[in-house]
Chain A
Amino acid sequence: MWAFIKKEFLYIFRDYRTMIILFGMPLAQIILFGFAITNDINNAHIAILDNSKDVVTREITRKLLSSHYFILDRYLKTDKEIKPAFQKGEIKEVVVFQKDFAQKIKTEGIAHVQLILDASDPNTANILNSYTEGIINTYVLHKLAGEGGIPLKVNIQSTMLYNKELKSVFMFVPGIITVILMLVSAMMTSITIVREKELGTMEALLVSPVKPNIIILGKVVPYVVLSFVNLAIILLLSQFVFGMPIRGSVLLLLAESLLFLIMSLSLGILISTVSKTQQQAMMLSMFALMLPTILLSGFIFPIENMPVVLQLLSDIMPGKWFIIIIKNIMLKGLGITYFWKETLIIFFMTLLLVVMSIKKFKIRLE
């Protein structure tokens, strides 16, 4: 057993390409996602259709434009101008104020603002929507509070509590942790097991009296250790470079990660049993694991915006549940009582995969 682990470590450290993949990839990904691929929006072009042109609408407009999120492209005069304005493609949002806006607030206590967004880029639209709502609500709140009224839309404030500025790093770090853990464990284990098959050393291992589960364990332990090192690097980076907090228990975070790791590792073993070459193992882990995890886990695209079929599909992505857990721990600082369901789901997935991979692992060559 120790001989296996020692061998595996020696092997990893001697092969500089493996090392680069193992440690370079997380670094590159987090820096890329953190800095380059940012979802934070600045200077989005908007148009305003003000049917009221009173004190209140002008004040709201000023508030919107004085935030650095929006730049006024033009004022529109009628509803008919909205469509062509979008078609030109420069405008991301149109804010429409109701007629007699200030009047209605005073007399009826409610007035309507319509936000029309270019949702061809759903993420941007989503974020712009939140920005605008936030600014308007803040204004209404202050105004009414100043006049002694009752605040109306408190609930919007709570949706943005954990990521007030919708900082994308906060969204990406849990996703990156998930993808890295999954990729390193599943891909690397499957590749190293298949490599032994390819090189013919598996033949020699199988002929020896060593039990198959020891062979597997010897493969798995080094990658658990390495993945933990990776996890630590990502957490430290996100904390010190991007200021991402860990509000909940670190211990709990590590424990949940371990569970997720074991699941990914058994997935890797499963992949290794069905692939004959290293390339095959790599392609399988890439397409079967990495892409779905990135696309369907809510890492980049919000699950709520997906068609129902994909939403159902995302339910079987372990990554989805793990991201929920990490977000709960890191951003909200919640305890296990809030996400025992998700934990249980991952736990059963793990159990299923471990049993399957042990059953499928062959003591012979075919």
Chain B
Amino acid sequence: MSVTINIKNLVKTYEKVEALKGTSLQVKPNELFGFIGPDGAGKTTLFRILTSLLLADSGTVTIDQWDVVKDYKKIRKITGYMPGRFSLYMDLTVEENLQFYARLFGTSIKQNYDLIEDVYEQIAPFKHRRAGALSGGMKQKLALSCALIHKPRLLILDEPTTGVDAVSRKEFWELLKKMQKKQMTILVSTPYMDEAALCDRVALMQSGKILSLDTPQQIVDDFKGNLLSVKTQNMYPLLKDLSAFEEGIQVYRFGDTLHLVSHYSPEKTKSDLTEYMTGKGYKDISIEPVTPVIEDCFLALMNNTTDA
């Protein structure tokens, strides 16, 4: 039931900006595939080309055997799309919104209720409330219900968790996992690195390029170098000082600490660094080796590309 997606050499240029610079990838049936990247990475553009809303300058996309340009009518039938901007009618109630989208696809709420049940029962208590009066998390759940109402075989979600609180984000991802079991290929984009670990495979994107594409575990395993977390009493000038510590060193903020990638062993770096920092007058120095997470991988990859 679920679909295979084949993307080849996709290029899309807006007036001056190159949004996609020859993107290629495959998505397997029934996969929960994540696109991770900062704003402007080209995620939304890619999704709009996939949903036939935009035409690419060059390159091809096929969803199963259908070409996204020629067979756009077929594709529009089997795709559930949740745009990044909140795409509901604010002045209609929750129920009316859902009904409208059901009718749009020539179906009814009853017909496919089993599919949206998990999502909809969470917002059902508010079904007579206007969509505009819902909280961010509720809105996204309603939008998801609307995207699911016609039993799509391909579900495309553009930053569904942006602007949503941590608890709702977690609930939302649990829902996606449940949907995946119902024979759907799911594409989801997010700027939040921590959500990457929840996908089957992820593509790390930046300025229209895919930096890395693999399972979250593999991406972490591929991390090169040794990662250290540095903390001290005076963090402000530290970033500048550490950048000057070693040739080609990578330093970046990570929460309230700095992360540092070194090519030498953790022990050697730690002792060298302690000496260097004490010399600069820092106190309360704490340097710990840490295991990298997706965000470290992404930041490291990003720095590599900007250097090159």
B77 and A209 contact, CB distance less than 8 A: yes
Enumerate chain A residues within 8 angstroms of B92, measured Cβ to Cβ. 7, 10-11, 14
Contact call B55/A364, Cβ cutoff below 8 A? yes
**Of A3, A10, A365, which is within 8 A of B104 by CB?**
A3
Whether the Cβ atoms of B76 and A209 lie closer than 8 Å is: yes
B32-69 vs A, CB cutoff 8 Å, 1 = contact: the mask equals 00000000000000001001111100000000000000
List of A residues within 8 angstroms of B83 by Cβ: 200, 203-204
Per the bound structure, the CA–CA distance linking A366 and B76 in Å amounts to 17
Residue pair B85, A200 in contact (C-beta under 8 Å): yes
Task: Give the size category of A's interface with B.
Answer: 20 to 34
Query: How far, in whole Å, are A3 and B105 apart by their CA atoms in the complex?
Result: 10
Within A251-287, the residues touching B (CB, 8 Å) are none
* Alpha-carbon separation in the docked complex, A65 to B25 (Å): 92
Chain B nearest CB, measured from A304 CB (Å): 48
Contact A201 B48 (CB under 8 A): no
Q: Shortest beta-carbon distance, B111 to chain A, in Å?
A: 15
A205 contacts B by Cβ under 8 Å: yes
Assess the B54–A365 pair: CB atoms within 8 A: yes
- Residue B89 interfacial (CB < 8 Å): yes
Q: Does B173 interact with chain A (Cβ within 8 Å)?
A: no
Provide the residues of chain A in CB contact with B175, threshold 8 Å: none
Label chain A's interface by main secondary structure. Answer: helix
Interface string of B97-127 (1 = CB under 8 A from A): 0011101111000000000000000000000
Instruction: Digitize A158-202: 1 where CB-to-B-CB distance is under 8 Å, 0 elsewhere.
Output: 000000000000000000000000000000000000000001110
CB distance from A12 to the nearest CB of B (A): 9
Query: Is there an interface contact between B91 and A207, defined as CB atoms closer than 8 Å?
Result: no
Instruction: Flag if B87 contacts A204 (CB, 8 Å).
Output: yes
Which of B48, B89, B90, B101 interacts with A365 by CB under 8 Å?
B48
A20 within 8 A of B: no
Question: Which chain A residues border B54 with CB–CB below 8 Å?
Answer: 364-366
Partner of A203, one of B81, B90, B104: B81
Q: How far is the CA of A2 from the CA of B99 in the complex (A)?
A: 12
- Measured between beta carbons, the chain B residues less than 8 angstroms from A210 are 104
Residues of A within 8 A of B90 (CB): 199
Q: Which residues does chain A contribute within 8 Å of B91, judged by CB atoms? A: 10-11, 14-15
Query: When the two chains form their complex, are residues A199 and B103 in contact, meaning their CB atoms are under 8 A apart?
Result: no
Q: How many residues of B contact A (CB 8 A)?
A: 32
Say whether, besides A7-B92, A201-B88, A365-B53, A207 and B76 are in contact (CB < 8 Å). yes
Least CB separation from B14: chain A residue = A366
B227, CB-defined interface residue at 8 Å: no
Asked whether A200 and B99 contact (CB < 8 A) given A14-B91, A209-B105, A365-B48, the answer is no
Q: Which B residues lie within 8 Å of A48 (CB)?
A: none
CB pair B55–A10 under 8 Å, yes or no, is no
A188 to B104 CA separation, bound complex (whole angstroms) = 22
Flag whether B263 is at the interface (Cβ < 8 A). Answer: no
Chain B 179-209 against A: per-residue CB contact (8 Å), 1 yes, 0 no?
Answer: 0000000000000000000000000000000
Asked whether any CB of chain A lies closer than 8 Å to the CB of B146, the reply is: yes
User: Would A205 and B53 count as touching, CB distance under 8 A?
Assistant: no
Check if B96 is an interface residue, CB within 8 A of chain A.
Answer: yes
Instruction: Answer yes or no: A206 CB below 8 A from chain B CBs.
Output: yes
Q: How far is the CB of A5 from chain B (nearest CB, A)?
A: 11
Does B86 have its Cβ within 8 Å of any Cβ on chain A?
yes
Chain B residues within CB distance 8 Å of chain A = 48, 51-55, 72-73, 76-77, 79, 81, 83-92, 96, 99-101, 103-106, 130, 146
A-B contact pairs, 27 of them (CB 8 A): A3-B100, A3-B103, A7-B89, A7-B100, A11-B89, A11-B91, A14-B92, A14-B130, A199-B85, A199-B87, A199-B89, A199-B90, A200-B85, A200-B86, A200-B87, A203-B48, A203-B83, A204-B81, A204-B101, A206-B53, A207-B81, A209-B106, A210-B104, A364-B52, A365-B48, A365-B53, A366-B55
Interface positions of A (Cβ within 8 A of B): 2-3, 6-7, 10-11, 14-15, 199-201, 203-210, 363-366
**Besides A200-B86, A203-B83, A364-B53, 14 new A-B residue pairs in contact (Cβ under 8 A), listed by A number:** A10-B96, A199-B86, A199-B89, A200-B83, A204-B81, A204-B83, A204-B87, A206-B76, A207-B81, A208-B101, A208-B104, A209-B76, A364-B55, A365-B53
- For the complex of A and B, 5 pairs with smallest distance between CB atoms: A3-B103, A200-B85, A14-B91, A200-B87, A204-B87
